[in-house]
Structure 1
Amino acid sequence: MNSIRNTLFAWSGRREFIKTALEAIENTLDQLIRGEFDEKDGLFRGGACFQDGIAAYPDKLVSRQRKSGIIDCVYDQPRPEFLAGKGIGLPCKALSTNCLYLAAYEVADHMRKESGLPERWAKESSGLRNHINEKFWNDAAGTYRYLLDADDPNPARQEGLGHAFALLFGIAGGNREEKMIRNIHITPQGLPCVWPQYERYGGTKGVYARHSGVIWPQVCVAWCEALARAGYREMAFDEMMKLAEKAARDYIFSEIYHPETGLPYGGIQEDEARGIVEWLSCRRQTWCAGGFINMVLNVFPGVRYSPAGLAFSPYLPEGTDEITLSNFPYRQSRLNITVRRHTSNQLLVNGKESEMIDSEIKGANDITIKVKK
């Protein structure tokens, strides 16, 4: 959980951010607990993180007008009986979304600690963690389920971002972590957003749904960071290189890619009267480019943020002896970071040995991270 609870504040050092963010997080949690929390199973209702397209969901949730959004079924008239009686109304519970609620609980309590306030969400956090593992874990498949309360015909369907969060937030502990990493489906082009795609899209070989079966880079980014932080550095490097190869080929980052060819591909999805059609994969995507930078920082220097400063968990792939990242912004400084293979492990700040980079560092600095051969 340190991967998210410390990043923005620890990178920027802006304490005024915590006060505003804590108020927003807790007000939002209070509202969503009233509207979306299901006391029967201890989980939150709602669609999956980022997956607003109906191609990420089973037939039951497709609106009568065959619109493209997950939320469209809520506005069907007469109102479908399967909708929830409060909140937005979506009955489904998604792995990624419940992982994010857990993260919100823990981030809020961390911000309270930094602000000198008593913790508030420990009980809720512990309960939700247990319920995620109890309700979503599929021991037969060795992975987590994607959706509950959605009449999904395939209980082994996996959600890429949900599994990344389960690993990144420390939810999949013990043998679950090992099983999950061994059994999760990785396509030739990276971790898919959902796998397999929903059955209504599977009639033609090589054709995949926009929100199930294809490669969204931000899913691969989260998976890469989760793997790197959990110690699976070679797998993280491989996930990063798949995205690097696409950017080097196209000179841009695209929104979505085909899981087999790796070419930009928007996938198919409902579009009202037009039926199920192929959509566009948008070009020049900043969130994908920013995500790739995150991959690089997690894979090679292994940047680890804390309020006290920066630490590193470096990695160099076989056949690479040195990598340099220039002009990296950190608080009031700019860092030129070199990861170099050596006879011993050592961190040098402007030529002087150090345990970490102090948060008060200023100006331009040369950072050398030596990695034992």
Structure 2
Amino acid sequence: METAEPVALRRPQFHFAAGAQGGIGELIDFYYEDEQGQWCFEYRYADGSGAGAAVSRDLVHWHEATVQTRKELTGGKDSQAPPCIVELPIVNDPNLTKWLRLHENHTYDIGEWDGESFITDGEPATLCYGVDSERLACGKGRLILAGLSLGSSGRLLVLTELSMRRSAQGSARLHAAPVGELHNLRVWQREWTVADLHEQHPFNESLQFRMAPGEWPDIRILPAEDGEPDAITSNLLDVHLDINAVAQSYLLEIVLYGLKIVVEMSEFASTIRCNGAATTLAMREVSLKLRLLLDQTSMEIFAGDGEALLSISVTPDYEQQRNLKLHCQSGTIQSVAVDVYGLRSTEPSPPERLLIEAAHPAEDHVIYQSESYSIYSHRVEDTVYGEPPAYVPDRNTILSPTRAVEEFVWRKNWANDMTRVIDRGNVWHPQAEIAKLPDLHTGHATIDAAYRLAADVFYRCGSPEFARPGEEGMWTAGQFQGPGEGFGVWVRDTTHIAIRSGNLLDPAGARASLLFTTKDGFDNGVDGTAMPIVGIWDYYLATGDLTLVQQTWPNLKSRIAKLEESFDADQGLVPADQSTSNDAFPEPEAGGFCLATETYFMESFRAMSRMGVLMGEPEEQVRSWAEIGERLLQGIQRQYWNDEAGYFTSGPIGSESYREGYWESAGQEMAMWPRYGIATPEQRQRILNRLPEVAMNEFGVNVFPYREETNHFAGAAWIVWTSGMAAAAGREGRLDLLMTLIAQQVRNSVMTKTFYEVIDYKTGKAWRWPGQLWHAAGFISYFYFGVLGIEYDEQGMTITPAVPETLRDLRLDHLRYREAVLNIAVHGFGTKFRMTCDGEQLDVIPTSLKGEHCIELWAI
């Protein structure tokens, strides 16, 4: 719950105001510093006591700093005047440019410039944005306008980006908008469409509310009283109004948190008034766009296409009027599209400042660096999400603000998308109960915290907090809509979680969940018949608990019988028109036999043959299952490997996928996972070589890299489908790829403090549903099956490490394997190790081992 300070103590929360000397009195200079990659402005204090400077990498988060002034950089010469003539491309006609000439009296011209004379297109126009608003800075191909607040408050206005656009009438017009980086401050969104707004039909909505479970999968938005801990609100707002009127005359009163803004539209102009200030916009059409940016002490209004700007000092009424009202006092407005975004502050609280200090030890080296982000032992810096970095003072603490924009209604698209935020605070600590789960120690707080975050998701998704009625003690697939309304138990998800570390991490939760999926649970994939078989067999190998096999055996036999009926003997495959990664659209390009799903059909037959032996099934039946499993294996190896592409395609020979070389990541993962024996070592090496070329960028692995559209499957990276890739990278000694996979998800999880369902492959931003358990399991699997190289079968557990130097000397404590508890310690790094158990050398950890033991891995 966000509260308001007393009026006398309120300070700007996303506007920069110098911390001392009465604020900013005058801008001296504003410029972009190429060498440091930062924006700088220099100013004089309002009380005349001297000068200061501030720097920013994103034009939103400013930090007081000591920098060399331009006077120092130019050997004592006076600062040059800001640029007054600038060439700008026309955004909606990129082949053309126009020149902008800015004057010191807040007027400007648009025209042509030949280096000597300026020919204007028309009369000068006004763009008044506070004082000193002739200050322009050019950098990174952008033109940024700065201004100071009028009066004595001494703060920098929201920086504004200038661009040129061609109007419907064909003339070039100047467009001013708050810098796009301001979007990174958005934490929630509400939207309404108001029709027929007139005197008798006003609009009034509270901007303080709370969420409650509805009828699954819906949620309810309810009123919230002051002081309720789960209330959602914000002292800082970004409000967009798109007004469409019936006629050219109306009077609209907008009341936002008690602040009155009056819009008067006449035949000739639109006038906007607030707190005694006013601005006028020439009348061109009956529609009008307004954008209101509310801080604790000020509000900026952008009207039209940013042709009119207004900055006002204000005192919002946070105690009594946390709402938005629209009242059309004369005339009629046909519709108003309303979008309200709650913003976060750029200022850390005093306790957060202490955590930031703790996350800055004397030495904090970069442990992984990519184009868009850098991972240190105690922080992650990321240009995609912008400032501030995510700080990790210790392995149990992450300080990172909300990075996603929370939605409360379904998007109006075919996928019914929504992005939710469960934990809205800036600081994450794990639940104490994760002490029951295996624990990883790498010596880097960022990596350890990411692992413990995944373990925390594991615990919470198996706890009553998110359980649906009747599913207590089972794995909910994700935290979904919040406490009381998790995703529930899904057939497909449960097995993927189980085989990707769940059976080792949480045997009790695995047993209950896998048992449930044999008779219930959401099942919307073409692979659902096979999945419980695969998961239960892996559970037996990891735990030695045969009772689950015994309890579900009739059901498993019924499932395999259905698959046997579907087996296409001529093709040597089982029909599957979707991949296991997809439940949303058909994949005709795979010719009706999608690789990913075929691999699970294959494994289900092989698993049944091995469980059949344990269950005393007739030898003929066991042999039949084994033979079909082998035929499927051979069919996959023979029909999907595309030697020209250098990987397995999503469809077999004769399909469009094979012909065009389409990569689908869930199938590729299974084909290259050493556990399942599909790819040869040489094929694995070629696939790993092709991975960064075809499907992997710095943010993750694209599920469907060949599809051009963008949705939650295409143009999307999903962690779950990369477990086998990490295992393959470890097996083939590709420590570079293994470390990249780990770093991608350390960055992703630490920045967002959760594991979202989707990472946008192009932008790197995570969205949709938080606390996705199969992604947490997939991340943990990187360490179990990739770094440590753990595998297990009927004979026991093997460990063949592939340890990047960054992870040297790591430890994994309290790993349960059957009736043993293993404390695993790595000494050194690399790919060649010898293993000891309690000091005695061994190659295989036997299934009969019981009790607690020390497993040491010594680099050789």
TM-score range, shorter chain: 0.7 to 0.9
**Hey, what does 2:705 align to over in structure 1?**
195
The Cα shift of 1:8 comes to 2.0
1:28 corresponds to which of 559, 571, 574:
559
Distance change in 2, residues 1:252/1:353 (3 Å): same
Aligned counterparts of 2:799 and 2:597: Cα–Cα separation in 1: 30
What SS does the corresponding residue of 2:805 show, helix, strand or coil?
A: coil
Assess if the C-alpha contact under 8 Å between 1:229 and 1:298 holds in 2: no
Aligned counterparts of 1:233 and 1:106: Cα–Cα separation in 2: 31
Aligned residues with identical type, % of pairs: 20
1:313-357 Cα offsets, whole Å, 9 max, x none, are 122212443101122223334322211128994433334444443
**Hey, what does 2:718 align to over in structure 1?**
216
The Cα shift of 1:196 comes to 1.6
2:847 corresponds to which of 356, 359, 362:
359
**Hey, what does 1:95 align to over in structure 2?**
595
What SS does the corresponding residue of 1:103 show, helix, strand or coil?
A: helix
2:574 corresponds to which of 19, 38, 44:
44
The Cα shift of 1:14 comes to 0.8
**Hey, what does 1:17 align to over in structure 2?**
548
The Cα shift of 1:130 comes to 2.9
Where do residues 196-345 of structure 1 align in structure 2 (5 Å cutoff)? 196-197=706-707, 199=708, 201=709, 208-229=710-731, 231-265=733-767, 281-341=768-828, 345=833
Aligned counterparts of 2:634 and 2:849: Cα–Cα separation in 1: 41
Assess if the C-alpha contact under 8 Å between 1:157 and 1:196 holds in 2: yes
Assess if the C-alpha contact under 8 Å between 1:53 and 1:210 holds in 2: no
Assess if the C-alpha contact under 8 Å between 1:228 and 1:236 holds in 2: yes
1:276-319 Cα offsets, whole Å, 9 max, x none, are xxxxx211112211221222111232222234443311222124
Larger Rg: 2
Assess if the C-alpha contact under 8 Å between 1:237 and 1:299 holds in 2: no
Distance change in 2, residues 1:322/1:30 (3 Å): same
Aligned counterparts of 2:548 and 2:668: Cα–Cα separation in 1: 29
1:116-173 Cα offsets, whole Å, 9 max, x none, are 5423223322322332234333333233221468866973221111111112222233
Name the amino acid aligned to 1:213: G
**Hey, what does 1:171 align to over in structure 2?**
678
What SS does the corresponding residue of 2:712 show, helix, strand or coil?
A: coil
Assess if the C-alpha contact under 8 Å between 1:42 and 1:128 holds in 2: yes
1:199-249 Cα offsets, whole Å, 9 max, x none, are 4x2xxxxxx232222101111223223433455454233223212221122
Name the amino acid aligned to 2:612: R
**Hey, what does 1:130 align to over in structure 2?**
634
Distance change in 2, residues 1:363/1:123 (3 Å): closer
The Cα shift of 1:50 comes to 3.4
Aligned counterparts of 2:719 and 2:601: Cα–Cα separation in 1: 22
Distance change in 2, residues 1:310/1:134 (3 Å): closer
Name the amino acid aligned to 2:695: I
Name the amino acid aligned to 2:836: L
1:30-72 Cα offsets, whole Å, 9 max, x none, are 21332x3334422222211131012x746x9xxxxxxxxxxxx
Higher helix residue share = 1
What SS does the corresponding residue of 1:196 show, helix, strand or coil?
A: coil
Q: How many residues align?
A: 316
Aligned counterparts of 1:28 and 1:337: Cα–Cα separation in 2: 38
Assess if the C-alpha contact under 8 Å between 1:159 and 1:194 holds in 2: yes
Q: Which protein has greater RCO, CA pairs closer than 8 Å, 6+ apart? A: 1
Distance change in 2, residues 1:91/1:219 (3 Å): same
Name the amino acid aligned to 2:573: L
Assess if the C-alpha contact under 8 Å between 1:25 and 1:104 holds in 2: no
What SS does the corresponding residue of 2:810 show, helix, strand or coil?
A: strand
Distance change in 2, residues 1:353/1:222 (3 Å): closer
1:63-109 Cα offsets, whole Å, 9 max, x none, are xxxxxxxxxxxxxxxxxxxxxxxxxxx97220111111111121112
Name the amino acid aligned to 2:599: C
**Hey, what does 1:162 align to over in structure 2?**
667
Aligned counterparts of 1:351 and 1:124: Cα–Cα separation in 2: 44
Name the amino acid aligned to 2:648: Y
Name the amino acid aligned to 2:854: D
What SS does the corresponding residue of 1:195 show, helix, strand or coil?
A: coil
Aligned counterparts of 2:741 and 2:686: Cα–Cα separation in 1: 19
- 2:105 is the alignment partner of 1:105: no
Gaps of 5+ in 1: 61-89, 202-207, 266-280
**Hey, what does 1:139 align to over in structure 2?**
643
Assess if the C-alpha contact under 8 Å between 1:314 and 1:371 holds in 2: no
Assess if the C-alpha contact under 8 Å between 2:650 and 2:657 holds in 1: no
Aligned counterparts of 2:777 and 2:823: Cα–Cα separation in 1: 19
Assess if the C-alpha contact under 8 Å between 1:191 and 1:215 holds in 2: yes
**Hey, what does 1:186 align to over in structure 2?**
695
What TM-score do the two structures reach when normalised by structure 1? Answer: 0.73
1:231-271 Cα offsets, whole Å, 9 max, x none, are 54542332232122211222211111012332204xxxxxx
What SS does the corresponding residue of 2:788 show, helix, strand or coil?
A: coil
Distance change in 2, residues 1:310/1:351 (3 Å): same
Aligned counterparts of 1:114 and 1:231: Cα–Cα separation in 2: 35
Assess if the C-alpha contact under 8 Å between 2:641 and 2:648 holds in 1: yes
Name the amino acid aligned to 1:257: I
What SS does the corresponding residue of 2:701 show, helix, strand or coil?
A: coil
1:53 corresponds to which of 575, 584, 599:
584
Gaps of 5+ in 2: 1-498, 501-533
Assess if the C-alpha contact under 8 Å between 2:641 and 2:649 holds in 1: yes
Aligned counterparts of 1:234 and 1:116: Cα–Cα separation in 2: 46
Aligned counterparts of 2:604 and 2:729: Cα–Cα separation in 1: 21
Aligned counterparts of 2:714 and 2:829: Cα–Cα separation in 1: 44
Aligned counterparts of 1:329 and 1:309: Cα–Cα separation in 2: 13
**Hey, what does 1:73 align to over in structure 2?**
none
Aligned counterparts of 1:20 and 1:361: Cα–Cα separation in 2: 25
| 120-129 vs 292-301, which moves further | 120-129
Name the amino acid aligned to 2:759: Y
Name the amino acid aligned to 2:583: D
Distance change in 2, residues 1:237/1:21 (3 Å): farther
| 285-294 vs 338-347, which moves further | 338-347
Distance change in 2, residues 1:357/1:260 (3 Å): same
